[in-house]
Amino acid sequence: MLVPLSWLKEYIDFELSVDELVDQLNLSGTAVESVRFMGKGLDYVRIGQLLEVEPHPDADKLSVTKVDIGQAEPLQIVCGAKNIKPGDKVPVALVGATLPNGIEIKAAKLRGVTSRGMLCSQIELRLGTDAAGIYILPEDVEVGALFTEALGLDDVVVDLEITPNRPDCLAMIGVAREVRAITGNELRKPAVSVKEGTGKAEDAATIVIDDLELCPRYAARIIKGVKVGPSPAWMEQRLQKAGMRPINNIVDITNLVMLETGQPLHAFDLKTLKEGKIIVRRAKPGEKITTLDGVERELDRNMLVIADSDVPVALAGVMGGAETEVTDATVDILLESAYFEPDSIMRTARKMGLLSEASARFEKGVDPNGAVYAADRAAQLIAEYAGGEVLAGVIDVYPEKIEPRTLQLRTDRVNGILGTTLSLPEITDILEKLELKVSVIDGTDNMSVSVPTFRPDLEREIDLIEEVARIFGYNNIESTLPESSGKQGGLSHRQKTVESIKARLLASGLSEIITYSLIDPREVDKLQVPEGDPLRWFVKLMNPLSEELSVLRTTLLVNLLKVLKYNVNREQYDVQVFEVGHIFWHENGKEMPDEEAMLGIALTGAWQADEWHEKARNIDFFDLKGAVEAVLDEIGVTGWSLRQFAHPVLHPGKSAELLIGDEPIGYFGELHPDVLAAFDMPTAYVGELNMDKLIDNAIVSRELIEIPKHPAITLDIAVLVADTVAQEKLIELIEAEGKPLLEQAKLFDLYTGKGVPDGKKSMAYTMVFRASERTLTDEETLDARDRIIARLNKELGAEIRM
Amino acid sequence: MASKAELDNFYEQAKGAVESASDLRALDQVRVEFLGKKGQITSVLKTLGQLPADERKLVGQAANEVRRRLEGAISAKQTELSRADVEERLATEAVDITLPGRRTAHGSQHLISQVIKEITGIFIGLGYRVAEGPEVEIDYFNFKALNQPPDHPARSLQDTFYIKKESVHPADDDILLRTHTSPVQIRVMKEQEPPVYIIAPGKAFRRDVPDPSHLPMFHQVEGLAVDEGITFGDLKGTLEAFTKQMFGKKRKIRLRPHFFPFTEPSAEVDVSCAVCDGKGCRLCGSGWLEILGAGMVDPNVLMEVGYDPEKVSGFAFGMGVERIALLMHGVPDLRMFIENDMRFVKQF
């Protein structure tokens, strides 16, 4: 809502500076979006009158003009616009001007003709959107005058963000009322007195409301014998400053009064209404109307229309029809001032994609009891500026008056919600400044508050409390903290576990990423996922922005790979990342999509680039496995195992499924070469684990394992085994046979090559032996070692290698 | 035959050898040569018996004196040589301290997670629990229970992502991607009786095309306190406590009345700009930066979850994490949060 302060001051005086006013409005709930000082950049623009307009001798599209700017000699200015003729008054930017759009005006030769200035369009002066031609000014402006003074542009316009609950503030008077609540100054509503003629309005037109639910009130004034023409300069300026385009005096007055009172008005050319009839009804199936914007629109039963005896002539509250529009030939007018049911207007406007100034107000709720005031105000202005005779009486169909609402307000409730200690008179004073009528209920601190119909937002006691709060000032309310024993801050076991997993991965060198929960289903094709696979049980958006973000992710892999790729494309080859996020899927027949938290890991490149002390090493399967082991270790998962995992996404020989007990938790491995090719990646290691299942198996608290008191004996062995033997087999046998003295066994060397026969590998283990209650002897330790060697030999054919 | 003069001469000779010893080994040789079992001083002492008794005593004393002095000289030389030895070792062991240190690979937490952690940490300190909810919601939790009227524009297909219904008998309620984390409020209140003190961080979705100031997915932190006697003053005090911890002790807040369907009275909350201290600058314009929306929980919301608004009251607030991260770290384009360029991620 654009509010020129010069206009606002018609209704209220205030001594606040612009900054103070902006502050006070902001702090009382009327947000100021921007402030515009209109005259800025227009100091060198004067009013000129065209004396001559001649074609340029060497350029078809240019004209050479002589312009009187009130000085002895007219200026010669070359101009490209076509809409000018001798006699027109136009804004002239003089040499030396810097216009609001940054253009500097200099004397110049255009195709050999000297030009000393520029004739300006509205857009060049930042006054409107009309860039089509030179801004032709009203005839009554004074030649040579400063443009800003002549057009009253020495003004400040504030742009207010009006929240949807405050339709009353979509009007100058409404904004003035807010200023009144801030300053306590008196509000001046324009007094209206309509000079009525002898003819009766009732005889000139009839009004029938067919659907009282959608149109509780329809009032009209009839004005006969008007002369349609341009509005006076002051009126055009006012409308322009408020962001509206002047059309003609009749339309301008309806707009002016709408901006003033908040009541949208519509003027029909009375002669085009068949039988002089207005019928407010729902559209019939198949009916059509061509609206003022020239678009033919199909109507339906849910839309309210204004019809004459025959066809719809306006889309009620949204836009008028082209057929009944006021034109230069119009003589008699029917001026509509109605109250339409807000929701119906909103639905129609949305359905038609037509958001007009009128619909914006009707859909939020105008004052049903302000209709006649606005009609009278407009009729009076029309008589004054367009001539004609206002017929006697207002045709006002309003069978069921909408009465002001009465609400109860308790002083202790106000203070209980706000934490204030306001007295009853203080509360009353605030409400009365907002034009609410307050009566104290005898013998109590409670009030009965009558809410005027221009405030449809005040429906409950809490709404009144908000009014008290915002006018008292939020920042005048004392700050406190809740005093409660009910506060026990902290993280749940689940949340702590997630945090510790993240912390461990970060410490292991992986960075966290966050990606969209939405993916492109075509990316899942790239993963070579077969038809019917759960990764294709997509949850689809009904209204996606694009195919790229059209389904919810069924796996974290897609985005992990995209992030690797994004970085590799930018020469960031070493990328190690994880993401904790949700995946979603739609199981057939189930109404709600399923949603589960997952941990995704993706690694490529090397952990670190070449260093002076160490060369870079490319990440492989065991780096990925190490990251997974670190997670399991961090949250104390025991009893986990791996098994071969067959999925087209992964390399069959370098992938594994993780189980805890018998339950699959997730998988990890190197990407299948086909998938790598599809994503155009050299290599990548990925994993995806179910977060909830990990958390279910996480240890809640750890108990101390006693620190050994007796010394250990450490022995190493190296054995040769067939290279098909899994390491896990060896360690299982070593541990089984070494019990109970063997505390720990660990592979420390794996070797094939020179000295080792083909088809064999050398595995070296370091073994720590200890007895918890005594010092071990060498004999029993060596004995245990020999038993282990014998067992390995017996079961795996392992040969000891010394 | 030893004489005093010979002994003196011997001492001078030996002392010269000690002085000229260049390292500990040479010094030890000198010691053996002069003082060892087969050393010269020993041979002198061995010949003492051949001397007359009176002379024997004199020479004996002198020889012992020489030995004592020589031992002192050797010991002093020894100290000197070992120090030189240590110093030489230290000199050869010196490293170029300007070589880069050895470091293990490290990961960085995503900036958004860091900011969420900081915010939730502050509220945990104020006695709040962390609550979470699903990203796919039904209209009831996302809109209806939050007092959002049926025709509210936020519900339109332009603004909210809706899920295609796949089942044979679709339910009446629309399924959507939550547009804020506020539905967590409703879920928590429906599950438990007051008092409720929760903070709910998470992802939210709005149908905005990605550009420098919009993302279709972003993060919010929602807070809710419902208890007996909660006031607007409590809301202010809580937000002040939060702001000072998050943005610094000198920061002030300002509440401007606003409209939200689920709170009343409602406010938009600004924090004073840290760059200009509230005076107005290029970053903030007016001296204030909007950081969150807040208000007293609307009685309709309390009734919807079965609480009695005459018995309990509450406040709620919500903030955009990306916006706070952007203000705190000068990030010029929201899309940087979702691109996951390692050169961005690793900076924080």
**CA A414 to CA A421: how far, in whole Å?**
9
**CA A281 to CA A307: how far, in whole Å?**
7
Q: Calculate the dihedral angle through the C-alpha atoms of B78, B81, B87, B90, rounding to the nearest 10 degrees.
A: -80
Q: DSSP readout, A84-136?
A: --TT-EEEEEPTT-B-TTSPBP--EEETTEEE-SEE-BTGGGTS-S--SSB-P
Q: Could you give the percent of chain B with pLDDT greater than 70?
A: 98
| 8 Å CB contact of B257 and A552 | no
pLDDT interval class at A337 (50, 70, 90): very high
pLDDT interval class at A802 (50, 70, 90): low
Chain B residue nearest residue A163, CA to CA: B259
Task: Give the per-residue pLDDT at B170.
Answer: 62
Read off the pLDDT of residues B230-256 as tens digits, 9 standing for 90 and up. Answer: 999 999 999 999 999 999 998 899 999
User: Which residues of chain B neighbour A484 with C-beta distances below 8 Å?
Assistant: 127, 195, 197, 227-228
Residue B199 near residue B151, CB atoms below 8 Å: no
The better pLDDT of the pair B222, B55 is held by: B222
Task: Give the per-residue pLDDT at A43.
Answer: 81
pLDDT interval class at A60 (50, 70, 90): confident
Residue B334 near residue B219, CB atoms below 8 Å: no
Report whether pLDDT(A467) > 90: yes
**Which two tokens mark A782?**
């060596």
Task: Give the per-residue pLDDT at B167.
Answer: 66
Strand (E) positions, A151-245? 156-161, 196-200, 206-209, 217-224
Instruction: Catalogue all structural domains in chain A, each as residue range(s) with its CATH number.
Output: 2-38+156-183 (3.30.56.10), 45-150 (2.40.50.140), 196-397 (3.50.40.10), 405-475 (3.30.56.10), 493-696 (3.30.930.10), 713-800 (3.30.70.380)
pLDDT interval class at A164 (50, 70, 90): confident
Report whether pLDDT(A487) > 90: no
Burial B30-61 (b: 16+ CB within 10 A, else e): bbeebbeeebebeebbeeeeebeeeeeeebee
If one counts every other C-beta atom within 10 angstroms of the C-beta of residue B78, the result is: 16
Q: How far is B272 from chain A (nearest CA, A)?
A: 14
DSSP alpha helix (H) spans, chain B: 4-20, 24-35, 40-46, 53-93, 111-125, 139-142, 183-191, 232-247, 299-304, 321-329, 336-339, 342-345
Report whether pLDDT(A665) > 90: yes
The angle formed by the CA atoms of residues B18, B20 and B22, to the nearest 5 degrees, is 100
Chain A residue nearest residue B199, CA to CA: A489
| 8 Å CB contact of A477 and B232 | yes
Q: How far is B16 from chain A (nearest CA, A)?
A: 49
**Which two tokens mark B244?**
């000072």
Q: DSSP readout, A511-559?
A: EE----SEE-HHHHHHTTPPTT-GGG---BBSS-SSGGG-EE-S-SHHH
The per-residue pLDDT of chain B, averaged, comes to 90
Query: Of A62-76, A124-138, A444-458, A667-681, where does mean pLDDT reach its minimum?
Result: A124-138
Name the residue among A482, A488, A563 with its Cβ closest to that of B225.
A482
Q: Which helix (H) or strand (E) holds A258?
A: helix A249-261
If one counts every other C-beta atom within 10 angstroms of the C-beta of residue A772, the result is: 11
| 8 Å CB contact of A506 and B264 | no
User: Which residues of chain B neighbour A477 with C-beta distances below 8 Å?
Assistant: 232-233, 236
Query: Any idea what DSSP says for residue A602?
Result: E
Name the residue among A474, A514, A584 with its Cβ closest to that of B110.
A514
| 8 Å CB contact of B156 and A350 | yes
Report whether pLDDT(A588) > 90: no
What are the residues whose beta carbons fall under 8 Å from the beta carbon of A393, sequence distance 6 or more?
A196, A200, A201, A202
Query: Of A119-123, A223-227, A432-436, where does mean pLDDT reach its minimum?
Result: A119-123
**Which two tokens mark A119?**
């004739």
pLDDT interval class at B2 (50, 70, 90): low
pLDDT interval class at B169 (50, 70, 90): low
What are the residues whose beta carbons fall under 8 Å from the beta carbon of A67, sequence distance 6 or more?
A48, A49, A50, A51, A74, A75, A76, A77, A90, A92, A117, A119
Report whether pLDDT(A435) > 60: yes
Residue type, A35: V
Q: Could you give the percent of chain A with pLDDT greater than 70?
A: 99
pLDDT interval class at B142 (50, 70, 90): very high
**CA A43 to CA A99: how far, in whole Å?**
9
The better pLDDT of the pair B37, A633 is held by: A633
| 8 Å CB contact of A419 and B151 | no
**CA A366 to CA A167: how far, in whole Å?**
7
Read off the pLDDT of residues B18-42 as tens digits, 9 standing for 90 and up. Answer: 888 888 888 888 888 888 877 777 7
Report whether pLDDT(A217) > 80: yes
Report whether pLDDT(A206) > 70: yes
Strand (E) positions, A574-629? 575-585, 594-604
Residue count of chain B, please give it: 348
User: Which residues of chain A neighbour B241 with C-beta distances below 8 Å?
Assistant: 481
Q: How far is B36 from chain A (nearest CA, A)?
A: 45
Q: Which residue has the tokens 């929602």?
A: B222
**CA A35 to CA A20: how far, in whole Å?**
12
Residue A174 near residue A168, CB atoms below 8 Å: yes
**CA A560 to CA A686: how far, in whole Å?**
8
Read off the pLDDT of residues B83-135 as tens digits, 9 standing for 90 and up. Answer: 988 999 999 999 999 999 998 889 999 999 999 999 999 999 999 999 999 99
Name the residue among A511, A540, A543 with its Cβ closest to that of B207.
A543
Q: Taking residues A552-566, what's their average pLDDT?
A: 96
| 8 Å CB contact of B163 and A420 | no
| 8 Å CB contact of A469 and B232 | yes
Report whether pLDDT(A343) > 80: yes
Task: Give the per-residue pLDDT at A687.
Answer: 97
Give the max Cα distance, chain A.
Answer: 132
Give which of A345, A409, A511, A538 to mutate to test B binding, by max B Cβ within 10 Å.
A511
Q: Taking residues A293-299, what's their average pLDDT?
A: 92
Q: Please enumerate, as own/partner, the contacts of A60-65 that have beta carbons within 8 Å and a separation of 24 or more.
A: A62/A110, A62/A111, A62/A113, A64/A113, A65/A119
**Which two tokens mark A632?**
């399991």
Give which of B118, B163, B173, B284 to mutate to test A binding, by max A Cβ within 10 Å.
B163
Task: Give the per-residue pLDDT at B171.
Answer: 65
Report whether pLDDT(B1) > 70: no
Helix (H, G, I), strand (E, B) or coil at B127: coil
**Which two tokens mark B210?**
């990605």
**CA A117 to CA B277: how far, in whole Å?**
45
Chain A residue nearest residue B259, CA to CA: A163
